[in-house]
Chains A and B, each alone.
Chain A
Amino acid sequence: MPHLRHILLVEDDPRDVELTLTALAEHRLANSVIVVRDGAEALDYFYCRNQFQARQRIQPVVVLLDLKMPKVSGVEVLRTLKGDPRLKEIPVVILTSSRETPDLAECYRLGANAYVVKPVDFAGFIGAVKQVGMFWAILNEPPTGAILTDS
């Protein structure tokens, strides 16, 4: 059941999903996380298509978006979101393994709200996810009108 204030995690690697959810769980944020496995699924979610047709019409307070995904890449998803006036206000935090500057610059250009390189060491990783989750899901006030009406 999706909660009123939830986090959408877009991640194709189940190991990363597990590690991420583990980190979020340490701050009791795990229950309010909805995970989609690639970009296409993410877009279905945002536009309430296919399996998400019946979902509650409430948008996540933050989207944790991996870049390197099959089908539709994270950059594609970001471009679609930020290019849609109804969706562009949703905060998007890029969570990626890459430090390559083209990605970083491209993501900010498209309107990403934050860009976090996942640390290799476990503690670092847990810390980073914990801080991101804390900030966006708890501290940050999402924009008004986050409730998605029928398109």
Chain B
Amino acid sequence: MSESPAHPQSSNTPTRLKSAYSPTNFIATTLTFPTRSIQWVLLLLLILMGRHCANSEVHSTGQTLLAGCEYDYPPFCIVHPDGRVDGFSVELLRAALKVMGRDLAFRTGSWNEVKGWLESGEVAVLPLVGRTPERETLFDFTVPYLTMHGAIVVRKDVSDVRDLNDLWGRRVGVMKGDNAEEFLRREERGVNLLTFPTFSNALQQLSAGRCDAVVIQRLVALRLLAEKSFTNLRILDRPIHGFSQSFCFAVREGDRDTLAILNEGLALVVADGTHRHLHTKWFASLELPSDRPIIIGGDYNYPPFEYLDANGRPAGFTVEMTRAIARAMNLNIQFQLTSWPKTVDALRAGEIDAIQGMFYSAERDQVFDFSPRYLVIHCVSVVRQGTGPPPASLPALAGRDLVIQGEDAVLEMLREAGIQAQITTVPTQEEVVRAVADGRHDCGLVIRLGALHAIKHYGWTNVVLGDQAIYSGDYCYAVPRGHAALMAQLSEGLQALKQTGEYRAIHEKWLGVYEPAPPTWRTALKYIVWIASPLLVIALLASIWSWNLRRLVAQRTTDLASTNQELQETIKELRRAKVALDHVPACIYIKDRNRRYVYANRVTLQLFKCSANELKGSTDHRFFPPATVDRLHEIDTRILEHGQDTIEEIESVAADGSRRVYWEIKTPLYEDDSKSVIWGLCGISTDITARKKAEEHLRLSEERFRRAIQDSPFPIMLHAEGGEVLQLSHSWCELAGFAPDQLRSLDDWTLHAFNDAASIAEARKATLQDSGQGQYRGDLTLRAGNGTTRIWDFSSAPLGSLPDGRRLVISMAVDVTERRTAEASLQATRVSLLSLIEDQREAQEQVRQLNLELEHRVQQRTLQLEEANRELEAFSYSVSHDLRAPLRHISGYVGLLRRAAEPVLNETARRHLQTIADAAAEMGALIDDLLAFSRVGRSEIRRVNLHLNDFVQQVVRVVERDAGDRKLVWKIAPLPQIEADPELLRSVLINLLSNAVKYTRTRNQAIIEIGWEARDGENIFFVRDNGVGFDMLYVSKLFGVFQRLHTTSEFEGTGIGLANVRRIISRHGGRTWATGAVDQGATFFFSLPISA
């Protein structure tokens, strides 16, 4: 395996290029101390475990592994003209295998060649292979040891290319087979891809204008541009998005043994610092700024670490450390010390390159990269003297008024621990101490050493520095995240200082002042000799003296121990007493003769809202309003001047404005038992506001109750067991007519009101019974003061007990005198009413019985009548038929006889025949009248509305026809409408009018008058004629059946007509009567009820 011919060696004058670009993720990762180193430790562990599976042969023998090395990939792989291979990756591979006990040989070739060798197994490992998806199937990769980012290189005159998108349509050069080519081919980017054997070729073509851009690893480009002096090219600042490359050692797919050895070796060289060392060697110079010094930032007032001395020059432990590192690492540095917050901001903004002293914290680690710590610094608290011990832990800071330097890491600690406190930040540590010393803030957090420096410098004596570290921080160098080159330089330098012992010297110089180191041997010996001889003499004397002293001391110690024991006991008791007093739920306090508070228990302090320290020396003015102070002063004077014990109620206004009442017992305090000198007073005070309020409520309630009783509209008496009258309502006295002082006891009352020994005894008994339970006693008649008798309706009830134990009874009464009287009269009325009602009820019952009987009788009678009616009807019918027929036959045959025998009959015979005929006719008329009369009695009345005038006219015409030629004068008044049975009324009118016509026959001129008047609810009609009249003597016979006042020879008639009239009118509910005189005419009246 011969090594390939050498390639022209690169110039070894690396150009320092300033770059803000962070090229090495991996390195950054490995160097970020301390968290990420844990990953490497874990990796180590994994590898150690994995070795059980690995082939032990590989490890045990000193086998030589063959590696492939490409020609031109500086600074990773470099082949020198003498054939020696070099470069970061080469050296790393060599170191990794060396720690694993392996030797390494290289075979050199182009990238394509070496890649082919690995695939074919001709070489076992390649030192630098970017891990890409395409290569996963070909190789196995170790963990990446470096991550690089791609960059675009263009000619300086090209200004329109800023990122990958601007390469569209342009000619882009890459090294053939490089992962840049793979990256560009991974997706269509519209570039015209030109491949070259090496990146040097590609850059030459670019420089010559034969392509437009080259895509390349940034580090490689930096190196090549520096080596080949492509002065017309520039690297674009912007990294290519998505094109970052992790570089690993690669072995053949499946070569697990070699892979295991490489991974383990890699882990070891990372852990032992070789990786960092190599990185610094190969890359740092490339990235560090070459055209300016490296700016190191720091605090301008952080003695003894970093500060500006009297001449304004940076000084201090850290400053000197940095100078030493710069010397060791040949760095051109410049300090820029300013206030701490500004310094941190400057680093964040990239205005400075590093901060020389900064605490590591997880939060800062997100923004900065840290070197290994070079110091542990303790942060302590600082307080003023007399304000208690300085807090010794983070939690103890809760709620404090804190002052802290701005951007101090402890702020982050507080945040993380969730400590709530009032925090003020100041620019410097010195200001922190000053703020506490001046009393602006209660507690500061400072670096112990720095604070000691400041305290000493300014001579502050009123501050106390804590000696417990609240927080101990790792003090490191810090650079902006990813500035690995500088970080590597600083870390390397730090390492170097420690190794050379310079670190210790600087530490001694700056920090030994405060923590003196033991003197050296030689110095000590010199001092001893110098002072030994006189000391020996003194020592001898002193030993005798001291023996004596020791004896004394032993004696005193014993005494003291005993005293101490007693004191301890006393203190214990006192503490207990204090605890007890603090827990008494009352204010207990002691004032001196000047009325200044000497002691107060916790309840008092809470009330006063002050601490025990604040209380001491205070007077009442501080806690009470002036009015209260005056009162307290007056009381205190009594105690202090006259030695009186006092018990007082004090009213005061609380802080919230509410009125409070305290019950205070105060007693003088004497110097000794002789009680001659009063030195102060002791007070015990209880808040009785609630009790006072309750009492007031009770008083008001009682007042209301008393007034309610007094003003009650009805008699109420409150009396105690035994008869004492406690209270009387006014109405009691008024109604009973006694003065209140006449009724001092129940006995008085019963005597006055009842005047009866038996009643008194009864009342007493009742009172006692009443004491148990409420009782209703009912009406009692009493004799009022004015001699009248009143009736009171009593009831009583127990009302608890009096304070002296006597039971209390309330008696109430209602004066029911009037009511009872009214009730009595009401009762009497009621009784008489009841009897009336009873009588009426009986009468009603009789009437009802009678009615029933009557009804029964009527029913029977009706039945009889109906029967009679039917018989009568049948009779009438028979009469109608059977009596008329023979009459007609008589009349008929007389007629036939006269017709046949007329000529032969003499006058007498003819007269006889005429008589027979007349008699038969009369008989017929009689029968007709009788039937009509009987029909009126039987038939139903059928009422219709009649125009009486019309009706009368019809009847007049009928009777005029019968009257023949007679001269009749009718005087008919306007008549009303009436309701009547037309058939029957016609019969009435025919009878009356035909009578009038008949009985005026003897008059030359018959005058018949028909009139009417309404009177007393009746229509009264009359028919008056100027006929023969009648004798009023017989008026009663006028309307009787078959009664006649004239002979048939005078005036024909059946004697039924007027009887029929009366019957018809009577059936209409009316009356009939007549007036008249012989030869002076007659007037016939009939009445009909109006609307009947």
Are A122 and B892 within 8 A (Cβ)? yes
Tell me if B891 and A97 are in contact (CB < 8 A). Answer: no
What string of 1s and 0s marks CB contacts (under 8 Å) between B628-665 and chain A? 00000000000000000000000000000000000000
Q: Of B880, B891, B924, B939, which is within 8 A of A98 by CB?
A: B880
Docked complex: A109-130 residues within 8 A CB-CB of B: 118-123, 125-126
Interface of chain A residues 67 through 81 with chain B (CB within 8 A): 67-68
Contact A22 B880 (CB under 8 A): no
B928 to A97, Cβ gap below 8 A?
Answer: no
A117 to chain B, nearest CB (A): 9
Among the listed B877, B881, B882, B891, which residue makes an inter-chain contact with A121, where contact means beta carbons less than 8 Å apart? B891
Q: Is the CB of A121 within 8 A of B889?
A: no
Per-residue interface assignment for chain A, residues 38 to 62, with 1 indicating a CB less than 8 Å from any chain B CB and 0 otherwise: 0000000000000000000000000
Let me know if A19 and B921 touch, CB within 8 A.
Answer: no
Contact A100 B880 (CB under 8 A): yes
| CB-based contact A118/B877 at 8 Å | no
Whether A98 lies near B920 (C-beta < 8 A) is: no
How far, in angstroms, from A68 to B811 measured CA to CA in the complex?
106
Pick out which of these stretches binds chain A: B56-64, B772-780, B893-901: B893-901
> Does A13 make an interface contact (CB < 8 A)?
yes
Query: Interface 1/0s, chain B 856-894, versus A by CB < 8 A?
Result: 000000000000000000001100111011011101111
**Given A16-B885, A99-B928, A99-B931, A125 contacting B891 (CB threshold 8 A):** yes
Q: Which of B876, B881, B921 contacts A120 (CB 8 A)?
A: B921
Task: Knowing A22-B896, A121-B921 are in contact, say whether A97-B931 is a contact too (CB < 8 A).
Answer: no
Q: Mark B144-183, 1 if CB is under 8 A from A, else 0.
A: 0000000000000000000000000000000000000000
Q: Which B residues are in CB contact (< 8 Å) with A121?
A: 891, 895, 917, 920-921, 924
Name the residue in A19, A67, A120, A121 with the highest tally of chain B Cβ atoms < 10 Å from its Cβ: A120
A15 and B931 in contact (CB under 8 A), knowing A122-B895, A123-B895? no
Report yes or no: A15 in contact with B881, Cβ–Cβ below 8 A.
no
For B928, what are the chain A residues with a Cβ–Cβ distance below 8 Å?
Answer: 99
When A13-B885, A22-B896, A99-B928 are in contact, do A122 and B891 touch as well, CB less than 8 Å?
A: yes
CB pair A97 B892 closer than 8 Å? no
Closest 7 CB pairs of A and B: A122-B895, A120-B924, A97-B884, A19-B892, A98-B880, A120-B888, A122-B891
Q: Which residue of B lies closest to A120 (CB)?
A: B924
Interface string of B931-950 (1 = CB under 8 A from A): 10001000100000000000
CB distance from B253 to the nearest CB of A (A): 138
User: Considering the chains assembled together, what is the distance between the CA atoms of A115 and B923 in angstroms?
Assistant: 23
Contact across chains for A19 and B880 when beta carbons are under 8 A apart? no
Q: Judge whether B884 and A125 touch: CB under 8 Å.
A: no
How many A-B contacts are there with CB distance less than 8 Å?
A: 65
A68 to B883, CA, bound (A): 13
Q: A99 and B891: CB pair below 8 A?
A: no
Sample (8) of A-B pairs whose CB atoms are under 8 Å apart:
A16-B885, A16-B888, A67-B881, A97-B882, A120-B884, A121-B895, A121-B924, A122-B892
Cβ contacts under 8 Å, B921 to chain A: 120-121
Residues of A contacting B882 with CB < 8 Å?
68, 97
Interface size class of A (residues with CB under 8 A): 20 to 34
The digit string for A12-25, where 1 denotes a CB below 8 A from any CB of B, is 01011001001000
Known contacts A99-B928, A100-B876: does B887 contact A120 (CB below 8 Å)? yes
Q: B406 CB to closest chain A CB, in angstroms?
A: 139
Residues of A close to B924: CB separation below 8 A: 120-121
Given A118-B888, A120-B921, A125-B892, 18 new contacts (CB under 8 A): A16-B889, A19-B889, A19-B892, A97-B882, A97-B888, A98-B881, A100-B877, A101-B935, A119-B888, A120-B888, A120-B891, A120-B920, A121-B891, A122-B894, A122-B896, A123-B895, A125-B891, A125-B895
Would you call A98 and B877 a contact (CB within 8 A)? yes
B896: shortest Cβ distance to chain A, in Å? 7
B894: which A residues are within 8 A, CB to CB?
122
User: Which A residue's beta carbon lies closest to that of B922?
Assistant: A120
Q: B888 to chain A: which residues have CB within 8 Å?
A: 16, 19, 97, 118-120, 125
A142 to B998, CA, bound (A): 45
A73-103: contact bitstring with B at CB < 8 Å (1 yes, 0 no)?
0000000000000000000000011111100
Bound-state CA distance A67–B884 (Å) is: 14
Contact check, A97 vs B917: say whether CB atoms are below 8 A apart.
no
Q: B885 — which chain A residues lie within 8 A by C-beta?
A: 13, 16, 97
The one of A13, A97, A123 that contacts B880, using a Cβ cutoff of 8 Å: A97
Measured CA separation A119–B895 after assembly (Å): 13
Query: Given the complex of chains A and B, what is the CA–CA distance between A123 and B881 in angstroms?
Result: 19
**Closest B residue to A117 using CB positions:** B884
Rounded to whole angstroms, the CA-CA distance of A2 and B894 in the bound complex is 31
Cα A16 to Cα B928 in complex, Å, equals 20
Residues of B within 8 A of A118 (CB): 884, 888
Inter-chain contacts of B881 with A (CB < 8 A)? 67-68, 96-98
Contacts of B880 in A (CB 8 A): 97-100
* CB nearest neighbor in A for B927: A120
Q: Which residues of A contact B931 (CB under 8 A)?
A: 99-100
Distance A68 CA – B877 CA, assembled complex (angstroms): 10
A19–B887 CA distance with the chains assembled, in angstroms: 13
CB distance from B942 to the nearest CB of A (A): 12
A122–B920 CA distance with the chains assembled, in angstroms: 10
Q: How distant is the Cα of A126 from the Cα of B939 in the complex, in angstroms?
A: 32
Q: Which residues of B contact A126 (CB under 8 A)?
A: 895
A16 to B228, CA, bound (A): 185
Complex alpha-carbon distance, A13 and B886, angstroms: 11
A120 to B926, CA, bound (A): 12
Tell me the bound Cα distance from A96 to B888 in angstroms. Answer: 11
Residue in B884, B928, B931 whose Cβ sees the most chain A Cβ within 10 Å? B884
* A22, B880: Cα distance in complex, Å: 24
- Provide the bound-state CA to CA distance between A123 and B918, in Å: 12
**Which A residues lie within 8 Å of B917 (CB)?**
121-122
How long is the Cα–Cα vector from A68 to B882 in the complex, in angstroms? 9
Q: With A99-B931, A100-B877, A121-B917 given, is the CB distance from A15 to B891 under 8 Å? A: no
Query: Which residue of chain A has its CB nearest to the CB of B884?
Result: A97
User: Are A15 and B893 closer than 8 Å at their CB atoms?
Assistant: yes
Most buried by A among B893, B894, B895, B935: B895
Residue of A nearest to B897 (CB): A122
> Which of A13, A100, A123 is the most central at the interface, judged by chain B CB atoms within 10 Å of its CB?
A100
C-alpha spacing A4/B364, complex, angstroms:
160
* Distance to closest chain A CB from B895 (angstroms): 3
Using Cβ atoms and an 8 Å threshold, which residues of chain A touch B939? 101
Kindly provide the distance from the CB of A124 to the nearest chain B CB, expressed in whole angstroms: 8
Bound-state CA distance A99–B262 (Å) is 164
- Cα–Cα distance between A27 and B939 once the two chains are bound (Å): 41
| Contact partners of A123 in chain B: CB under 8 A | 895
Query: Inside 8 A of A125's CB, which chain B residues have their CB?
Result: 888, 891-892, 895
A100, B878: Cα distance in complex, Å: 10
Chain B residue nearest to A23 in the complex (CB) = B892
Contact between B895 and A15, CB atoms less than 8 A apart:
no
**In the complex, A13 Cα to B884 Cα: how many Å?**
13
Min distance, Cβ A1 to any Cβ of chain B, angstroms = 27
How near does chain B come to A66, taking the closest CB pair, in angstroms?
10
Bound complex: CA A121 to CA B887 (Å): 8
